[in-house]
A and B are shown apart, each in its own frame.
Chain A
């Protein structure tokens, strides 16, 4: 390679990509930080309010409710997804016939549009005509309001989200499981270890990089949940039980046109995600077993 020659033409090749990224993905971030110090509804002139938006946010009960709802969603859906996906992956990891077909079926919900899927689940959860209540009726369990019930609305959304994302995590766990050398299991069996012992001492530790990865990605994704809420509980749910942060942000910005306030929320969300990523990198990753 001719080290001395500089390819200035490279900038030309990079220009479209870098230009668009700067324009639509980078500079707007700085702009948004700036706007969070104003109150603006796009029609009149922006009004400087300094830290007022953040002060209002600190006093805003709905903001705290949306934080709580988001945490509730994250703390239930993430572990549930991980254990369900791990379970399925472990079942698939036995060299059984038809693994391709199973994988295809489990992965199908992942590629389908969240909106279409949300509508179908909406119908399944319908108190009068929905499948779920009819199934429960077979077991003589009374009908529930599901998405209209403040207690059940969030669990319903969690169930649907876990259903949709299952296949994705299954594929990742499967790859991780298949990376564990078989001879380790054979040796353990010869030594007389039971299956649960094998899981605890071989599978779980060697799988931890994968588990860690799935955990971090799922956690970050769960903080940003939006589409399901928008499609299934468009006003934030019964007694606002499904009002999550991104949905609150969307309402403030695109329904009430309080852009400054909405961006203050976005800023806080960003800090949260950054904090979680940092926490994971510094603390949790120490517990991960890299061979």
Chain B
């Protein structure tokens, strides 16, 4: 804050700053709010072409906020619900009308979780993301360990070459990788989702930079004492590396959870789909069921948001540091 401004101008200046930031924050958050509230609405609430903007679902809205149209719709839904309950109470043989069950709050989520297999997509994504995260951290730390502490021919050349691969365009890789997977008969397997991603140059780079900052005599002192190379890695290096590992872990998990194009290409079966692919198929197969779509979207980002609120600092740092590669 540039010094030299008069005290009362400072306050009103701050007010303006806050006001602008709050407007921006609303713009940032509103789509999420809209998504969540829509996921609790029934189809007739969503498919209204009227002028009014209704945020809250009928079930949550206090009565005084209702418009005439809302009241009418709520009344109609009550009538339908009573009719359905009447029919449901009769034994199936003596039912006179075939009515559809009226909407209840969690219906969209139930539809998505049970009928649209999101439970399975969730499991798949969890499995794949955790496997990739743990394995890639392990392999990357091994490689970074070698690059930082060992002496061997071509060390720098190999490292530079690996760094260079980060510049290659992903799109050019999709096709030959797909062909390779076809020949390996790995199309539509968990292997295809996991194996290509357990080698992360970025993690290697990140960890190497971290290892290089550790005191150099640490390694010497340990090996002189008779510590084997692997013991040093396991007993000393890893415990010291908790901060970057946590950051990398979050970053890798996030990337894997959100990964879309690769799983889209290499898997087809419902049983193999990860959540992003499942979401995109759900989107194209039921393009107009907005309620379930919003519920599916909510479920897709929910774990990330929860993780985010627990580890904000690491998230922001991890994303910012991935940026500062220069």
- Contact between A and B in the complex (any CB pair below 8 Å): yes
Task: Tell me if B's interface is mostly helix, strand, loop or mixed.
Answer: helix
Which of A56-64, A67-75, A91-99, A145-153 lines the interface with chain B?
A: A91-99
Selected contact of B25 from candidates A24, A105, A110, CB within 8 Å:
A105
Contact residues in B for A94 (Cβ distance below 8 Å) = 1, 13-14, 17
Interface pair A32/B198, CB less than 8 Å apart:
no
| B203 and chain A: residue at smallest CB distance | A17
Tell whether A129 pairs with B31 under 8 Å between CB atoms, given A113-B258, A224-B171, A230-B280: no
CA distance A105 to B223 in the complex (A): 48
Q: How large is the interface on A (under 10, 10 to 19, 20 to 34, 35 or more residues)?
A: 35 or more
**B160-211, CB < 8 A from A:** 162, 165, 167-180, 182, 195-196, 198-201, 204
For residue A123, CB closer than 8 A to chain B, the reply is yes
What is the count of residue pairs linking A and B with beta-carbon distances less than 8 angstroms?
281
Report whether A123 and B290 are in contact in the complex, using a CB–CB cutoff of 8 Å.
yes
> Are A227's CB and B165's CB within 8 A?
no
Q: How far is the CB of A280 from chain B (nearest CB, A)?
A: 12
| Known pairs A17-B142, A108-B32; A25 contacts B165 (CB<8 A) | yes
Which segment, of B58-66, B90-98, B298-306, faces chain A?
B298-306
Produce 1/0 per residue, A267-288, CB < 8 A to B.
Answer: 1011001000100000000000
A1 touches B151 (CB 8 A): yes
Query: Which stretch from B79-87, B102-110, B315-323 is at the chain A interface?
Result: B315-323
Inter-subunit contact A166/B28 (CB<8 Å): yes
Q: Which residues of B contact A3 (CB under 8 A)?
A: 151
Task: Determine the distance from Cα of A159 to Cα of B280 in the docked complex, in whole angstroms.
Answer: 21
Residues A119 and B294 in contact, CB atoms below 8 Å apart = yes
User: Is the pair B315, A107 in contact by a Cβ cutoff of 8 Å?
Assistant: yes
B272 at the interface (CB under 8 A from A): no
Nearest residue, chain A, Cβ from B29: A105
Given A14-B158, A96-B17 in contact, is the A20-B142 Cβ separation under 8 Å? no
Residue of B nearest to A223 (CB): B169
Find out whether the CB atom of A20 lies under 8 angstroms from the CB atom of B170. no
Of the four ranges (under 10, 10 to 19, 20 to 34, 35 or more), the interface on chain B belongs to 35 or more
Chain A contacts of B176 at CB under 8 A?
28-29, 31-32, 35, 263
Whether A18 pairs with B258 at a CB distance below 8 angstroms is no
Write the residues of chain B forming the contact surface with A, with a CB cutoff of 8 angstroms: 1-4, 13-14, 17-18, 20-21, 24-25, 27-29, 31-32, 34-35, 38, 46-49, 51-53, 139-140, 142-143, 145-147, 150-153, 155, 158, 162, 165, 167-180, 182, 195-196, 198-201, 204, 216, 220, 229, 254, 257-258, 260-261, 265, 275-276, 279-280, 283-284, 290, 293-294, 296-298, 300-301, 304-305, 308-309, 312, 315-316, 319-320, 323-324, 326
Q: Considering the complex of A and B, which 8 residue pairs feature the smallest CB-CB distances, nearest first?
A: A28-B176, A116-B297, A7-B150, A20-B199, A13-B146, A10-B150, A266-B172, A24-B196
Interface residues of A (CB under 8 A from B): 1, 3, 5-11, 13-14, 16-21, 23-26, 28-29, 31-32, 35, 42, 88, 91-92, 94-96, 98, 100, 102-117, 119-124, 128-129, 131, 134-135, 137-138, 163, 166-168, 171-172, 175, 185-186, 188-190, 195, 198, 213, 217, 224, 226-227, 230-231, 234, 246, 249-250, 253-254, 259, 262-263, 266-267, 269-270, 273, 277
